[in-house]
Structure 1
Amino acid sequence: MSETKKIDLNLLYSVLVREIENDQVQEIDPDFYRTLSEYLGKLKSEGYDGIESKIKARLTELITQSVTLLLKTRIEKASASDTLDFTNLLDEEKYILESQQDLAERKEMILSATLNGRTKTLQSVSKKHKTKPVTVRFLKDFDQFVGADYTKYGPYKAEDIATLPNENAQALIAKNISVKITIEE
């Protein structure tokens, strides 16, 4: 069943109710999240004063709560069984569930390597994790340092963007020196 491209609170409510009332993930328009994103982006960019501003804020809040519940419900239903059911899932939802599959595979690999004495596998995973590239934006100036991969990094000024080894990026994030950013591909 394909929904119309026009998104409003009534349509969102009907999609949410239909989803909650059924045990299986329901079919919705493949562009649902993108269309909703466009609608919210437009709504948030429009300037209103007085009561109209309050209505816009409340509408945005209701849509946010509804979409959050809808996504949570659909993901929970799809992952409720031992095997993931990708039927009727949208690409964005599949993206979320694929990360759950990656998590299960990683746990199994670590457990298997540990229980079967494959120390080199564990060392390789550890090194790969410490040095995997993470892109950050600096919130404060920071001096030059040697990264987990033994490469020199910096110095950096506030607002600089850099790709650092994960171990170093996480330490800087924890100290509120930088924030992780995602670079769109």
Structure 2
Amino acid sequence: MDVNYDLLFDLLRYEKNKDDLQALDKSFFSSLIDYLQSKESILLNSQTKPAEREITRIQLNNVKKLIAELYDRREKKIINLALYKIKTGSDIIATGSMLDEEKMFFDSICLVLSKYKSSILDNILDNKMPFAETMAFPEQKARNEPKKLSAIASLRFIKPVPKFLGADLEPYGPYDEQDIASLPRDIAEVLIHKQHAEEIVSDS
């Protein structure tokens, strides 16, 4: 799936105009990241002309606004589906248009809504005092919570990289094959994605 500005604009338009959650390609997130990183690499390239860099910066800002609005609209639809499922008790909820991460979000919301409906409303209807407690998912949290990454990454270069300007307008490089350097993580991730370098991970 090739992601670009026009595609994102169309996806948002469809999501706005349709009541149902619209299906997305299963590779949408990975393709989206590739697209964003390609734009970031243009900004980081010291050979990029100032005019092109400014155009790319504006494009990137506009794209991120589209992504945020697309996410918000899909999020609201998923929450409404979860509310409908809990209120009606229906097991026939179409989740085929959800991406894997969205399905996990949907299932988590349903679990929380069901718990609090049972502990509050169902107790009241049964002439009992309602109660509520904070829900915790220790096993799921430990399994899914990403490790916090340092703002600086240590890299070993596997290809020569010419001198370039970072997003902070600071010059970096040049680097030869097998050189080791500590760089801001946003720059490091672009270099790793482009297979110019690999991260040196500490055992500690």
Q: How does 1:132-147 map to 2 (within 5 A)?
A: none
CA shift in 2, pair 1:6/1:108, >3 Å: same
Task: For 2:105, give the aligned amino acid.
Answer: I
1:28 aligns to what? 24
The residue that corresponds to 1:59 in the other structure is 59
Mean CA deviation greater in 7-16 or 77-86: 77-86
Rate the CA distance shift 1:127–1:42 in 2: closer, same or farther, 3 A: closer
> Whole-Å Cα distance in 1 between the matches of residues 4 and 110 of structure 2?
33
Task: State, as a whole percentage, how many aligned pairs show the same letter.
Answer: 19
Residue 92, structure 1, aligned to residue 88, structure 2: no
1:135 deviates by 8.4
Residue 27 (structure 2) pairs with residue 18 (structure 1) = no
C-alpha separation between the residues in 2 aligned to 1:103 and 1:40? 34
- Alignment of structure 1 residues 70-89 onto 2, 5 Å: 70-81=70-81, 82-83=84-85, 85-89=94-98
What is the deviation of 1:110? 5.5
**Residues 23, 39 of structure 1: CA spacing in aligned structure 2 closer, same or farther, 3 A cutoff?**
same
Structure 2: which 5+ runs fail to align?
A: 86-92, 151-204
Describe the SS at the equivalent of 1:42.
helix
User: In the TM superposition, what are the counterparts of 1:160-179 in structure 2 within 5 Å?
Assistant: none
Report SS of the residue matched to 2:24. Answer: coil
The yes-or-no answer on 1:8 pairing with 2:17 is: no
Asked if the contact 1:78–1:85 (Cα under 8 Å) also holds between the matched residues in 2, the reply is no
**1:104 Cα offset (Å):** 1.8
Q: CA deviation at 1:100?
A: 1.6
SS at match of 2:54: helix
Q: TM-score, normalised by structure 2?
A: 0.50
- Alpha-carbon distance change, 57 to 98 in structure 1, aligned in 2, over 3 angstroms: farther
Residues in 1 aligned to 2:38 and 2:69: alpha-carbon distance in whole angstroms: 22
One-letter identity of the residue aligned with 1:62:
N
Count of aligned pairs? 129
1:144-177 residue CA offsets vs partner (Å, 9 max, x unmatched): xxxxxxxxxxxxxxxxxxxxxxxxxxxxxxxxxx
Q: Is 33-42 or 103-112 further displaced after alignment?
A: 103-112
CA contact (8 A) 1:75 1:97 kept: no
**Structure 1 residue 8 displacement after superposition:** 0.8
Larger RCO (alpha carbons 8 Å, 6+ apart): 2
2:165 maps to which residue?
A: none
Match of 1:25, SS state, is coil
Question: Structure 2 CA distance, aligned partners of 1:9 and 1:74?
Answer: 18
Conserved in 2, the CA contact under 8 Å of 1:27 and 1:88? Answer: yes
Deviation at 1:101, TM superposition (A): 2.1
Question: Pairwise mapping of residues 152-167 of structure 1 onto structure 2 (< 5 A)?
Answer: none
Using the alignment, how far apart are the partners of 2:136 and 2:28 within structure 1? 40
> Aligned-residue CA RMSD in angstroms?
3.7
In the alignment, is the contact (CA less than 8 A) between 1:79 and 1:97 conserved in 2? yes
Runs of 4+ off more than 4 Å: 108-112, 114-117, 125-129, 132-137
Distance 1:126 1:75, change over 3 A: closer
What TM-score does the superposition give when structure 1 sets the normalisation length?
0.54
2:33 corresponding residue in structure 1 = 37
Secondary structure, in 3 states, of the residue corresponding to 2:25?
coil
